[in-house]
Chain A
């Protein structure tokens, strides 16, 4: 039995087995307890009669059967009948607003959400809507699943385009031993991401166990509200966070606004120029504490690389990462890697290990915006304004012993063509290696 509950009226529900043809008639059109008397279905698609006016409330799923067999939930227009494998491929909208989904149990109901064997671990969600991901009048508002492949709101009409309910993916990330999907594939909002986006589980960290976020995009409108929700991926990597509006994430204490474990490829505020050597044309600040550090069970650090952060505005919260470096396997020209800020950096930049083939630059560094590189630099640290100031800069004084490389090395001055500078795409685990 597969049961879907709390969908709104005027919604058609189709259920079938992946690889087969979608049924021509809806399995259900009511709003509660739709019981699909078929444990073999692997795709459920919800489609509003009018995707620009009909909203879908919060969905809960329950299934008897294999905990590992994927169940795909799509909220999408009828012109597609399966997931696009490419997570950033646009889908037709299936409704106006949606209050999200979570699983009561899919597989072993004794497990709690977030565990590797958890209920809902096999659930894959993809949704395209015309309005907001919001709780609305539903009793619940969230999106929780093993994999959240695609969330999209790029409405043609005005309004909408916001993610206002928390998103939590806890399945294994792309490139892992068991997954061909990103934990969170694509979140594509025209206006804002205002709620927490989390890719994480509650299991211990092992080399084969991590979650990832491929891409969070807000825009492309010049006046988008930007990102204000926390983005957390403490064990894995985040490929891209781009926003034409400001990235302004309030946190308290040691909490990070943007956190990753192994790597962050790209954080970009402003309208993308398509030229990685240029800063964005619009001035949009980044005000989020950024942390990238993967802790092992024994307390050691195995990774934590920030590849690029670009903004024409200010960077007003601390950055705390293991390393900042260009990819070592395919990037020979790396002057657009690192932290490139058109305005002022106002808080410290702490790098445990290396700044390698990369840059930390801003027009100015405010008092207290000290730059600390624990081990090694082969790159540039620069205040670019005519009267730009650097504050305290420390290199090679980290607590970790690293006798062979500590300090500041020279460079060659000549490079070839950088074939993978922008934008970053899928990655391999080898990229996570740091010096």
Chain B
């Protein structure tokens, strides 16, 4: 004969709502065992386990929605117990409202699903005076972080990475698991919150500390990419009358983002121009490009924005930067984070390669020049388009001895306009 264990157990449980799970003068923690739990609410989980039914197929429970205010490490003023543990096969929503000092085991984190840790990946204190412990998140099937983990979903504006990311996120991976932590790794490949391994290596998902940083390595093209990794002008322009398929720029963050307006661009696009020894950035009117981003009333969440030309504007070859809006207005905000703070300041860089004939093949400078009316942008014919061309243009134009940029036989103000259009576009 045995004393009845402290267990809530069934094949399915519609909902469980418990104020506290703990050990006081006992040795075996309480448990909730079910193959499926519709709703799980626990205020303070000092110890104990939520798991699949002991006679089920495995140790994981399918959970509809989970809200646990605090998971603690088990060691309290009451007793020295094991940490709180949840073993979850799949879920619709999973929120730890405050800190996680326990261990969360997910069979997978499905795409379009988010685990939210409200405060830090650690906990201590509470009514039972729990000892500090850094909590952990485990993804127990090979490379199946398909969805999202958010740390600091309560939205603290200046979270310390060392404090908030004190616990690890470990993803099952071939012979050696991938552990994302705040401890520096070579090249910061696994160092939270700005680890540099791509999301593809863990299953397509990400772990983000709010406010979210730009996930450089996960962008397409990767931020700063040049050469063949970058886009052609013709790919970005999105003109209807060319044969080149439109290619978008994908800018990704470590967590979901959204814009709070239905249509306005939440970011600025700048073009870099080299004028002598300085670089000048020209703001591209937002009407000239399209930004696809998660917007109000849209279902789901997304940690990426997409950009491409509006089809009405000829983007010059050269370097561009995408940044937060300079003058306020609609911004890019962290989604699924309380208070919806703006994302961390970011600077995404992409380059458009020269394809003057819009045939989908990168062209050499001058490839499209008209022999009878050479392109005026490289006015001094030195192979580059820069401030020296401006100076070279105005000297003969002011003297009336040259500068017929539009090749109409006269030298007048229309030549200045023609010159600058070509010059600003970096070519003809």
Closest to A398 in B: B19
Task: Give the residues from 292 to 340 in chain B that come closer than 8 angstroms, CB to CB, to chain A.
Answer: none
Interface string of B89-115 (1 = CB under 8 A from A): 000000000000000000000000000
Q: Is the CB of B7 within 8 A of A393?
A: no
Whether B6 contacts A377 by the Cβ 8 Å rule is yes
B201 within 8 A of A: no
A410 touches B15 (CB 8 A): no
Contact residue among A333, A380, A387 (Cβ-Cβ distance under 8 Å from B6)? A380
- In the assembled complex, the CB of A413 is this many whole angstroms from the nearest CB of chain B, namely 5
Measured between beta carbons, the chain B residues less than 8 angstroms from A297 are none
The answer to whether A407 and B18 touch across the interface, beta carbons within 8 angstroms, is: yes
Instruction: Please tell me if the beta carbons of A408 and B1 are within 8 angstroms of each other in the complex.
Output: no
Report how far A397 CA is from B19 CA in the complex, Å.
6
Q: Does A394 have its Cβ within 8 Å of any Cβ on chain B?
A: yes
A359 vs B55: C-alpha distance when bound (angstroms): 19
Check if B10 sits within 8 Å of A382, measured CB to CB.
Answer: yes
Contact of B11 among A385, A405, A413 (CB under 8 A): A385
Evaluate whether A408 and B28 lie within 8 angstroms (CB atoms) in the complex, with A380-B6, A390-B12 already known: no
Majority SS of interface residues in chain B? strand
Q: B8 contacts A412, CB within 8 Å?
A: no
Closest to A358 in B: B4
Residues from chain A with Cβ under 8 Å of B17 in the complex: 392-395, 397
Pair B9/A383 contact, Cβ less than 8 Å: yes
Interface string of A370-410 (1 = CB under 8 A from B): 00000001111111011111111111110000010111111
How many Å from the CB of A353 to the closest CB on chain B?
Answer: 13
Query: B15 touching A380 by the CB < 8 A rule?
Result: no
Q: How far is the CA of A316 from the CA of B267 in the complex (A)?
A: 62
If A387-B11, A407-B18 touch, whether A415 touches B3 (CB-CB below 8 Å) is yes
Q: Tell me, in angstroms, the Cα distance from A334 to B47 when the chains sit together.
A: 23
Contact B19 A407 (CB under 8 A): yes
* Cβ contact within 8 Å between B6 and A335: no
Contact assessment for A390 and B10 in the assembled complex, using a CB-CB cutoff below 8 Å: yes
Q: Is the CB of B6 within 8 A of A390?
A: no
Q: A332-B3, A358-B4, A359-B4 are in contact. Are A412 and B26 (CB under 8 A)?
A: yes
The closest CB in chain A to the CB of B1 belongs to A333
Q: Which of B4, B19, B29 has the most CB of A within 10 A?
A: B4
CA distance A394 to B17 in the complex (A): 5
> Are B20 and A334 in touch, CB under 8 angstroms?
no
Given A381-B8, A406-B20, A407-B18; A412-B13 close (CB under 8 Å): no
Q: Number of contact residues on B: which range applies? A: 35 or more
In this assembly, does A418 line the interface, its C-beta being within 8 Å of a C-beta of chain B? yes
Band of interface residues on A: 35 or more
Q: Write the nearest CB–CB distance from B116 to chain A, whole angstroms.
A: 23
Interface string of B29-61 (1 = CB under 8 A from A): 110001000000001100110000001000000
B4 touches A334 (CB 8 A): yes
A110 contacts B by Cβ under 8 Å: no
A389 in contact with B12 given A380-B7, A411-B6 (CB within 8 Å): yes
**Is A392 a contact of B14 with CB atoms below 8 Å?**
yes
Interface residues of A in 407-432 (CB under 8 A from B): 407-415, 417-418
B186-200 residues with Cβ-Cβ distance < 8 A to A are none
Cβ of A250 < 8 Å from any Cβ of B?
A: no
Q: Which residue of B lies closest to A362 (CB)?
A: B10
**Given contact pairs A386-B11, A387-B11, A392-B14, A410 touches B26 in the complex (Cβ within 8 A):** yes
- B19 and A409 within 8 A (CB): no
A383 in contact with B10 given A396-B19, A406-B20, A407-B19 (CB within 8 Å): yes
Interface flag for A204 (CB, 8 Å): no
Query: Please, which residues of chain B bring their CB within 8 A of the CB of A417?
Result: 1
Q: A410-B48, A415-B3 are in contact. Are A390 and B19 (CB under 8 A)?
A: no
**Are the C-beta atoms of B28 and A412 separated by less than 8 Å?**
yes
Question: Is A357 in contact with chain B by the CB < 8 A criterion?
Answer: yes
Q: Is the CB of A406 within 8 A of B19?
A: yes
CB–CB B23/A357 < 8 A: no
Is A433's CB within 8 Å of the partner chain B? no
Contacts of A389 in B (CB 8 A): 10-14
* CA gap between A390 and B33 in the complex, in Å: 11
A380 touches B9 (CB 8 A): yes
Contacting residues, chain A, for B1 (C-beta < 8 A): 277, 333, 335-336, 415, 417-418
- Rounded to whole angstroms, the CA-CA distance of A2 and B100 in the bound complex is 79
Q: A409 to B24, Cβ gap below 8 A?
A: yes
Query: In the complex, are the beta carbons of A407 and B21 less than 8 A apart?
Result: yes
Q: Which residue of A lies closest to B13 (CB)?
A: A390
Per the bound structure, the CA–CA distance linking A409 and B22 in Å amounts to 5
Q: Which residues of B contact A387 (CB under 8 A)?
A: 11-12
Residue of A nearest to B47 (CB): A410
Q: Determine which of A390, A408, A413, A414 lies in contact with B48 in the assembled complex, contact meaning CB atoms within 8 Å.
A: A408
Is B364 part of the contact surface with A, judged by Cβ < 8 Å? no
Complex CA–CA separation, A358 to B34 (angstroms) = 20
Query: Is B4's CB under 8 angstroms from A379's CB?
Result: yes
Q: Are B11 and A395 touching (Cβ within 8 A)?
A: no
Name which of A358, A387, A392 has the most chain B CB atoms within 10 A of its CB: A392
**B43 contacts which chain A residues (CB < 8 A)?**
396
Tell me the smallest distance from the CB of B168 to a CB of chain A, in Å: 27
Q: Given A409-B24, A412-B27, A413-B27, answer yes or no on A335-B12 (Cβ-Cβ < 8 Å).
A: no
A395 touches B15 (CB 8 A): no
Contact B20 A393 (CB under 8 A): no
User: Are A410 and B23 interface neighbours, CB within 8 A?
Assistant: yes
> In the complex the two chains form, what is the Cα distance from A387 to B20 in whole Å?
27
Given A333-B2, A389-B11, residue A395 in contact with residue B18 (CB < 8 A): yes
A358 to B10, CA, bound (A): 17
How distant is B19 from chain A, measured CB to nearest CB, in Å?
3
The residues of A that contact B11 with a CB separation of less than 8 Å are: 383, 385-389
Closest 3 pairs (CB-CB, A-B): A407-B20, A396-B19, A383-B10
Q: List 12 A-B pairs, Cβ < 8 Å.
A: A358-B4, A380-B6, A380-B7, A381-B7, A382-B8, A387-B11, A389-B14, A392-B15, A394-B17, A407-B18, A407-B19, A410-B81
Known A333-B2, A390-B16, A406-B20; 15 more pairs at CB < 8 Å: A335-B1, A336-B1, A337-B4, A379-B4, A389-B10, A389-B11, A389-B14, A390-B10, A394-B17, A396-B19, A396-B20, A411-B27, A411-B28, A413-B27, A415-B2
